[in-house]
Structure formats: C-alpha cells, structure tokens
Amino acid sequence: MPTPSASSDPILDRLASSDCAVKFKAIREVKNHIIGNRTKKHSYIKLGAVPAVAAALADSDPNLIVQSAAALGSFACGVDDGVRAVLDAGAFPRLIGLLSAHDEKVVDAAARSLRMIYQSTLAPKYDFFQEETMQFLLSLLESENENLTGLGAGIVIHSCKTIGEQTILCHAGVLEKLTSLLDSSLSQRDASLESLAAIIRDNPAAVSEFVELHGGRALHSVAELTKDRYPRTRLLACLCLISVKNSSTCYLQDIGIKTKLVYILLELLDDSGQVGDEASFAFSSLIAEKEDLQKLAFEANAINKFNCLLQKHPVQPKRLEGVFLALADLCSKLECCRSSFLSLQVLNLVVDALTHEDASVRTAACICLRSVSRSIKNLSAGRFMNERVVCPLVQLLSDLSTSVQVAALGAISNIVVDFMPHKSTFIECGGIKELVQLTKSMDSSLRLNAVWALRNMVFLADKICKEGIFVELTASSMASLICDPEPSVQEQALALVRNFVDGCVYSVEHAFAEDGIILDAVGRQLKKSTKIEIGIQGMYVLSNIASGNEFHKEAVMQLLFPQDENVSHSFFEQFLQSHDSRLRTAAVWVVVNLTFPANPGAFGRIVNLRSFGIVSRIKKMVNDSCMDVKLRARLALGQILTFGDS
C-alpha cells in the first residue's frame, strides 16, 4: 500500500520532488496561478511555497532555474509580502550570482526577477560607494542585454537617495550611460528616465553635468520624450525636466517650456492609471513656491481641471491626495486661484474629505484648506468660519495621525483670523479645549502649531473670547510655553501674549495674573534669547503693557532696569542698537509708551531713562537709516523734550 504523504499539500510534494520533470511542472503551475492574482499569491506565500521554489535556483537544469526565477519575480511583483518571502528564502544573493551564468536565458530570468524585487522599498540598499559594487553596476549598464541595463537603472531608481550617492554616480559616468539608453525600448527608456531623475533631483551639480552632456543633446532627447506616445514616458520625461528646472535659475526658464510642462501634466491627469495618480504630484513639484508657474497654470484652467477630476466618483485615495496637494500649491500665493477655487465650489469637496478614512487624504485636504484660507478677502467675509468647515477640523485635532493633526492646526491657524471679535463658531465646536490640550503635547510640532493657532485666534479678540482662552490655558502654561525648549514655540507664545495684552486697558491685566508669572517669563526670555524674532515679539509685549496705566508702565520699567542689576549690559540697550530695524522699531515703541506725556509718572520715568543712557541713545536714533525707526525716535524725543532737556 502507498505510504501516507508527510506533507499537508500535494503542491509542496511536487515542488520538492527529485524528479526534474515533476518539479518543473509544479513551479510553472505556481507561476501561472499567481500571475496577476494577489489572492493566489498570498495563499502560496502562506503555504510556504516560496522557499521550495527558491531552492530550485541551485539546480543544474537551466530550464528549472528559469522557471524558478520567473516565479520568484511574480511573487515579488507589487506585493511587499512577496518580496519579503523571496528575500527570506535567501533567493536574492543566488539571483545576483546567476547574472554571471553562461546561459543567456538564465541571465535574463534572473535580471527580470531582480528588477521586480528592486521595485520594492524592501529590497536591500545597493552600496554605490564600494568600488566592486560600482563596477558591477557599470557592467550592467554597459551590457548589450536589455534586461541587465534595465536592472541597472532599477537599482539606481531604488537606491540613489542622497546627494553623496548622486555625486558618486555622476563621477562614475552613470549619467552618460543612462542617456545612451534613451533610444532603446519602451521599458528601457522609461527606466532610464526615472533613474536620471533620481540622480539629478535637487542636485544642481548633477543637473549641470547632465545638461552639458553631448553639448546639450541629452537634455534635448529628454525634452523630445515629453511628446512620446506613451503617457508614462511623457510623465517621466516631465519629471526629469522639472528636476532640471527646479535646480537652478539657468536652465529651462523660458515661458514656452513652462507652459508646455503645465499643459502636458494637466493632460496626463486624464490617465486613469498610475500615470494619472502621479501626474498631480509632478504638477505640485513643478509649481510649488513659484508664482509665475501658478499663474500659467491658472491661465491653463487648472483649477477647473482638478475640479472635474474631483467630481468623478469614486476617486482613489492616492489620486485624491495628489489633487488636493496640487490645489494647495496652486492656491498658495495667488488670490485669483483662490477666487476660482471658491466660485467653483471645490471647498465643499475638500471639507467632505476631512472625514476621509485615509489619513493621507485627510492631511492633504487640510493642507489644501490652509492654502485657500490665506485669502484675507474671504477670511474677512467669513467664508470659512462656519460649522460645516470648523467642526470637522476640530475633530481632526484628536486624530490618531500626527501629520493630520499638524495639517489641521495649520488650517485652523488661518481660519480663526476672521477679524470678528468673538470667534463663537470655533468656541462652540469645542476648539479651544482641543488647542490648549495640544499646547502640552510632547511633539514640538504640535505645540508650535497649537500656540500659533491660539495666537491668531486672540488677534483682535474681544474680552469674552480672551477670557475663555486664558482660563483654559492658564498663566502658568503660557509661562511654560514662553520658556519652551523650542525657539519657534517661544516666539509664537510671546506673540500670543502680545495679542492678549492688546485691546482695552483691562487686557493688560493678563500679564499680571498669578503673581506676574507671564511677565517674569517674558523678562527671562528677553535676557537670554539671541533670536531676533523673539526680541521683536517680546518688545511688543512690553510696549503693549506700557500703553496701559501707571502701574503697568512702572512694571515695565522694573523689568527693563532691575534695581540690583548692572544696566550697562541690559538687553534693552542692545535691542535699541540691533542691526535689525524691526527690533529697533519695536524697542523705540517701548520708550514712546513709557514717556507718553498724559501720565503723571512720565517725568519720573524720563529721569530714569536719562540716567540709564536711553535718552542719549534715542537722540542718535533720530537719524536712523530706517524711516520707521527714525520717526518713532523723533516721536519719543519730542515727548521727552516736553519735560525740558536738562
């Protein structure tokens, strides 16, 4: 009677068979099952088929090796679990070794398999800095075999990330080799374009070398490929040109090429596959931070294009994210783009996306909202401060993703600037409590953005609104934020205090709550910090306090000129002499308010200011190179002289 099988599945028996014919058929069967079928792929991975298939790479039969390599490549294609299984089976070094086989079919199969693996981020990083491995890469790129050259390009695409790697590849002559491959087949051409983009991205030296290749013919070849019949080739060519364009102000700056790139990318958005998904990200890299490109895109009707894309349902998360980020860049600087965005009712679609299940989409929607809400005209019209927009944003403040939280804070920072004193909508949505909570976060980017949002919210806020925030935040928390380890948080905290103590005279009292802990923190920070912006904000805090009543003015004097301290090295003297005119201006405003004539204590303060050398400093500043400083100094001096010049 036949012996019972030791294995739980017949396929594994056949994969492990000592009969080559049986094993061959089994491997081919697995390969045919998994091609284009992720479910089958995962089933076989769980079954443990990958190690059995990989074992065949060590066989002596070339046909068996080819089938094994092909199957492994299929496992690795587009499935990270597959890549992991192939690597865990120890197949990678064996496939590398097979590249040197005598049998052409074996080499081809191994190269194709490795290309699949290198499309995954899980593939081992290639070390370009080793002479031996660099020579190996160069031999791949020099090969007559298209599978080998394609693998070489794939390695560059995968592993070239740092400027050091870019530089060493340039020195090794890789740019030239890749350029010579642009005349090859479709897949080779695309691989070359993509690897060229990897080498020159954000690297002016690499771009310069590339542009000079063959007297500019290499660049011309890439430019020609923007007209290729294949969408992916056009996209990759555009990405190369964008890298060249973004790296310096010398290349590709004429309006013709800019307009052409805008139109090509807008057209590629219509591709329903991966090209369409990636086109919007390419579009963002083209126009980001560039007002002239954004203008061109606006004139090319880009806003309407993106709006139409959003109207199609359903939109995949990746595409949705890309469109929102592109709209964010488009609306980042130009008011005409924001007007178009708002008139097309795109805002509703963005607001809906704030509750999307994908965190990347939520983040992108917030970033888009932040850009659009930089419109003072529409902020003033109350376009964003309503429940429909505010409530989902407040919900995102407790999102599980930090990047969503930071992006939501950025949008809120703008939306709360509605120039209305009460901010009732935001308060009713529970926003203040959430913001205050985030100011205590361990993550400094959350603290920074939360304080920033509060600072903007308190701008021109009325007494009730300020009181509500102050009670929730507390004076001691504000003092902690002023002394935060992050200078940027310190700066925003001081700006927050500045806004708190502006407005009616009563507002100044905020600085004196809890025994003046806030004012003490301000004083300590001003003595310690060397950052100009902190000095500026701090001076305006003191200036605003000094515009209060007699008690407030004397408190500022005490802080600037403590009884027991050597005043000749005071920070105030340094601020008055700062090289930054904004800081000089802010410091003089303090003097203006301390010497404001309609106050009984003004004379006494002038006497003190004179004894500390401040008056003589002000006299020099009446001829300051900056008009604002000069005019404030003259105002201060005029007030001082009304009490006589002794």
Partner 1 sequence: MSVLFFSNCHTDPAISAASSSHHNHRNMPVRVLENTAAPSSQVSGANSGRSSCQSCSLLGVGQAFSGTQNVSSVQKDEAWRVNVRIQGCDLEHGYLCGTMEALNVPMADTPVVTFWEGEIVDTKNYTFFTGKWEASPEDDIRHWSKFPSFSPLLGQVEADGGKSLDLSNYPYIFMRWKEQYFVNVGTDCGLTIAGFYYICFSCSNGSISGFYYDPNSSPYQKLELKSTNDGRSGFSFSSYELQ
* Per-residue tokens: 206: 């690499």
Q: Which of 158, 189, 245, 338 binds partner 1 (CB under 8 A)?
A: 338
Among 593, 606, 609, 637, binds partner 1 (CB under 8 A): 593
CA distance 592 to 66: 86
Which span (1-9, 129-137, 163-171, 595-603) binds partner 1, by CB under 8 A? 595-603
Q: Determine which residue in the list 74, 233, 284, 543 makes contact with partner 1, applying CB under 8 A.
A: 543
Q: Does 635 bind partner 1 (CB under 8 A)?
A: yes
CB of 592 to partner 1, least distance (A): 6
Q: Which stretch binds partner 1 (CB under 8 A): 45-53, 197-205, 389-397, 451-459?
A: 451-459
- In this complex, which beta carbon is closest to partner 1, that of residue 271 or of residue 554? 554
Closest CA to 240 of 213, 215, 267: 213
Give the residue, chosen from 154, 410, 431, 538, that forms a contact with partner 1 under the rule CB under 8 A.
410
137/458 with CB nearer partner 1: 458
CA dihedral 626, 629, 631, 635 (to 10 degrees): -170
Of the two residues 1 and 598, which places its CB atom closer to partner 1 in the complex?
598
Residue closer to partner 1 by CB (options 222, 508) is 508
**Quick one: which of 623, 551, 628, 547 has its CA closest to 592?**
547
Q: Which one among 451, 502, 535, 612 touches partner 1, defined by CB under 8 A?
A: 502
Complete DSSP assignment for 139-154: HHHH-S-HHHHHHHHH
Region binding partner 1 by CB under 8 A among candidate stretches 72-80, 103-111, 301-309, 406-414? 406-414
DSSP conformation class of 507:
G
Q: Both tokens of residue 278?
A: 């990636």
Closest separation between CB of residue 406 and partner 1, Å? 10
User: Which CB sits closer to partner 1, 459 or 470?
Assistant: 459
- Indicate which single residue of 553, 584, 605, 617 sits in contact with partner 1 (rule: CB under 8 A): 553
Q: What is the dihedral of CA 106, 108, 113, 114, to 10 degrees?
A: 110
d(CA 41, CA 257): 45
Kindly tell me which of 100 and 623 has the beta carbon lying closer to partner 1: 623
Widest Cα–Cα separation across the chain: 125
Comparing CB distances to partner 1, the nearer of 62 and 487 is: 487
Contact with partner 1 (CB under 8 A) among 547, 584, 617, 618? 547
Residues in contact with 210: Cβ distance below 8 Å, sequence separation at least 6, in sequence order: 175, 179, 196, 199, 200, 218, 219, 244
**Are 66 and 104 within 8 A, CB to CB?**
no
* Residue number, 425 or 585, with CB nearest to partner 1: 585
Burial per residue of 174-213, b for 16 or more beta-carbon CB atoms within 10 angstroms, e otherwise? bbebbbbbbeeeeebbbbbbbbbbbbbbebeebbbbbbeb
Instruction: State yes or no: residue 627 binds partner 1 (CB under 8 A).
Output: yes
User: Closer CB to partner 1, residue 50 or residue 368?
Assistant: 368
Considering the rule CB under 8 A, would residue 538 count as an interface residue with partner 1?
A: no
Q: Which of residues 418-437 bind partner 1 (CB under 8 A)?
A: 419
And the tokens for 511?
């600085």
Which residue from 178, 240, 495, 517 is in contact with partner 1, where contact means CB under 8 A? 495
Segment 356-385, which members bind partner 1 (CB under 8 A)? 370, 373-377, 379-381
**Nearest of 117, 89, 85, 111 to residue 98 by alpha carbon:** 111
Residue 512 — φ and ψ, nearest 5°? -110, 5
Coil, strand or helix: which one is 345? coil
The binding track of 285-324 with respect to partner 1, each residue x by CB under 8 A or -, is ------x---x-----------------------------
Q: Are 67 and 28 in contact (CB under 8 A)?
A: yes
- Kindly state the smallest distance separating residue 380's Cβ from partner 1, in Å: 5
Give, in order, the Cα–Cα distances in Å from 71 to each of 26, 77, 572: 11, 10, 74
Q: Is 354 in the site for partner 1 (CB under 8 A)?
A: no
Q: Which is nearer to partner 1, 159 or 456 (CB)?
A: 456
- Which residue in 205, 460, 513, 622 binds partner 1 (CB under 8 A)? 460
Q: How far is the CB of 465 from partner 1 (least distance, A)?
A: 13
**Does 464 contact partner 1 by CB under 8 A?**
no
- Hey, what long-range contacts does 218-222 have (CB within 8 A, 24 or more apart)? 218/175, 218/179, 218/182, 219/244, 219/251, 221/179, 221/182, 221/183, 222/182, 222/193, 222/196
Binding mask 65-104 for partner 1 (x = CB under 8 A): ----------------------------------------
User: Residue type for 121, please?
Assistant: T
Q: Measured from the CB of residue 539, what is the shortest distance to partner 1 in angstroms?
A: 10
Burial classification of residue 295, based on how many CB atoms lie within 10 Å of its CB (0-12 exposed, 13-18 middle, 19 or more buried): middle
How many residues touch partner 1 under the rule CB under 8 A: the total is 61
SS3 248: coil
Contact letters (x/-) for partner 1, 174-203, by CB under 8 A?
------------------------------
Would you say the C-alpha torsion 280, 286, 291, 293 has a positive or negative sign?
negative
Task: Give whichever of 47 and 334 is closer to partner 1, judged by the CB atom.
Answer: 334
Q: Name residue 6's amino acid.
A: A
136 sits near partner 1 (criterion: CB under 8 A): no
**Which region among 67-75, 246-254, 518-526, 587-595 touches partner 1 (by CB under 8 A)?**
587-595
- Min. distance of Cβ 521 from partner 1 in angstroms? 19
Q: Does 544 bind partner 1 (CB under 8 A)?
A: yes
Which residue, among 298, 270, 360, has the nearest Cα to 324 in the 3D structure?
360
Q: Which of 67, 189, 533, 578 binds partner 1 (CB under 8 A)?
A: 533
Residue 587 CA to residue 297 CA, distance in Å, equals: 44
Work out which of 519, 585, 587, 606 binds partner 1, going by CB under 8 A.
585
Q: Which is nearer to partner 1, 322 or 410 (CB)?
A: 410
Task: Tell me how far apart the alpha carbons of residues 459 and 503 are, in angstroms, rounded to a whole number.
Answer: 9
Count how many Cα atoms sit within 13 Å of the Cα of residue 445 in the half-sphere of its side chain.
11
Query: Which of residues 24, 384, 589, 612 is near partner 1 by CB under 8 A?
Result: 589
Residues that bind partner 1 (CB under 8 A): 291, 295, 332-336, 338, 370, 373-377, 379-381, 410, 413-414, 417, 419, 452, 455-456, 459-460, 495, 498-499, 501-505, 533, 536, 540, 543-544, 546-549, 553, 582, 585-586, 589, 592-593, 596, 598-599, 626-628, 631-632, 634-635
